[in-house]
Amino acid sequence: MPTGRFVRPAAVLAAALVMAGTAAAPASAASGPNLEVSVVAQEGRWLSGDTVGLDVTVRNLGDAVAFGAFGTAYTESGTPLRIDRNQWGDLSDGGSGAPIAQGETRTVHLTGQLGTFDGDSVVHVEVHAGQDIDYSDNVRLVTLPMARGTERVAGVLYGDANGDGKPSAGEALAGAEAHFIGVGTTTDMVAVTDATGHFSFDNLPLSRYAYVSFQKVPGGWVDQPVGEMRLDGRGAYTALEVRAVRPLSDVLHETLALDKTTYAAGDTGKVTVTLSNSGTQPLTGLFLSCDAGGFGSELPVTDDQWGAFGSQRRAGTLAPGQRVVLTATAKVPDRAAYTGSTGLDCTADDGHSGGAPYAVVTAKVPGKVADSRGQVWLDKNGNGALDLDEGLAFRNLVLVEDGTICAYARTDANGFATFKNVPVGTYQLRVPGPWKPAPFEGDLGVFAPPYGGGEWHLRFVAG
């Protein structure tokens, strides 16, 4: 063996070769399915009761099929979001799961409803499959921001006299009642418009649905609907411009007439409707809405008899100064004999202007008589409810029709009285003395059995 050379023992050489081979070989990646989850939440300032959408995308980044994959979504903290698990389809955790092939991408659209407010909603979204080699990307937490605070609703009410669709000098409507109602308010809130037509409601609770309407608008103006408002803290309704217009009845006029003042059940009644346009512009899209209600005693006129003015066609037209006369017929219902009257009421409308004219016409259907029992009471404390000792005791009552007294009765200690053998019909009940019927009360319908007979309760107030 030559000198000066170093020779490794065979065992050492073999070990060195093995180590060198190991270091030189590339590291192999783990093999198997690898699901990756991403979530895109619908944007918004959310309120309790809202429905929120989540788009969940699942991708298999691995080199093998993910068998038995299933998804789940639940509220981890905050306001609960209720999601029906069946929305996952074959990925529902209520089943056996589904296969997701290597390279496959799936998107599932979930919707849930937010429950009672408890701060921002944090939603846990997860998709699981057996043998997943990297579970770090299978779970996503999504935060849904909940709206907070209070809202202000304010604006101006104006009568659009010049028709330009915006408030102008001299158009402010003062003294109108603005009524607000929304989720979180038990009754409507009222604000009166000031001299400039402005109104406001402050510190309102957030609400998915809120409305402003107007009453007692001066000058006969008709306010146009504000529409549904969503109060989510953005202050979107602090500068409302509420337009009021002249009522349709300013230019469209309607009268109704019957061919007789008295009918019998089974007679044919003829009704005449007269419409006229006193304005300077043509009226189009006109139609009649006629009510054949009236406890089933009204004339059942069919809509087709009104021709172009029928509510199904809505094609009636009136030129400036034009007048049209429409007629229709129907048989007087048998029930009219039990209520004492028949007739018709109709609204002439164009479907959008507001303040449509309304007319009613009635005729008698005499013959039957009936007893009528009920109670009259004095709302002493003004609470609108019948309290103890509010019955008007030992008082004379009268039924009046067209200014004529038709029947008498006297109340007992609790304010009850019975009118005997009264011809069926509609009367005004009066109590002689310093009392008057409360608003929308005082009319009394006397109907024969089986359509009458129930006790009535009529509220009176100090006159």
Task: Kindly state the average pLDDT of the residues 337-344.
Answer: 95
Reported confidence tier of residue 27, pLDDT bands at 50, 70, 90: very low
- 9 Cβ contact list (under 8 Å, min separation 6): none
> What pLDDT sits at residue 17?
30
Element (H, E) at 10: helix 10-24
Mean pLDDT (whole number) for 151-164:
96
111: Cβ contacts below 8 Å, ≥ 6 apart: 51, 52, 53, 54, 83, 87
Q: Number of folded domains in the chain?
A: 4
Share of the chain above pLDDT 70, in %: 93
Instruction: Give 23: exposed, middle or buried? Use CB within 10 Å, 0-12, 13-18, 19+.
Output: exposed
Per the domain annotation, does 8 fall within a domain?
A: no
CB atoms within 10 A of CB 102: 14
Does the pLDDT of residue 8 top 80, yes or no?
Answer: no
Q: Residues with Cβ < 8 Å from 352, sequence gap 6 or more? A: 285
pTM: 0.70
The single-letter code of the amino acid at 365 is: V
Is residue 162 a part of any domain in this protein?
A: yes
Structural domain containing residue 192: 150-246
Res 447 pLDDT > 70: yes
- Position 159 in a domain: yes
Q: What are phi and psi of 265, to 5 degrees?
A: -55, 135
Tell whether 83 is covered by a domain. yes
Identify the pLDDT of residue 295: 78
How does residue 294 score in pLDDT terms, banded at 50, 70 and 90? low
DSSP letter, residue 63: S
Per-residue pLDDT for 19 more than 70?
no
pLDDT digits over 75-101, tens only?
999 999 999 999 999 999 888 899 999
Q: How far is residue 330's CA from residue 334's CA, in Å, rounded to a whole number?
A: 12
Q: Examine the pLDDT at 410 and tell me if it is beyond 80.
A: yes
* Residue 98 falls inside a structural domain: yes
Mean residue pLDDT across the chain: 91
Q: Which of 364, 379, 414 is at the close of a domain?
A: 364
Instruction: For residue 232, give the nearest of 82, 114, 141 by alpha carbon.
Output: 114
Write down which residue in 144, 162, 191 finishes a domain: 144
Q: E strands, 278-395, where?
A: 283-291, 316-318, 323-331, 341-349, 358-364, 369-378
Last residue within a domain, chosen from 227, 246, 265: 246
Mean of the pLDDT values across residues 46-52? 96
CB atoms within 10 A of CB 185: 14
pLDDT digits (tens, 9 = 90+) for 173-230: 999 999 999 987 777 899 999 999 999 999 999 999 999 999 999 999 999 989 999 9
Residues 292 and 339 in one domain: yes
Q: What is the CATH number of the domain that holds 183?
A: 2.60.40.10
Based on its alpha-carbon atoms, the radius of gyration of the chain, rounded to whole angstroms, reads: 39
**pLDDT(337) > 60:** yes
Is there a single domain that holds both residue 385 and residue 441? Answer: yes
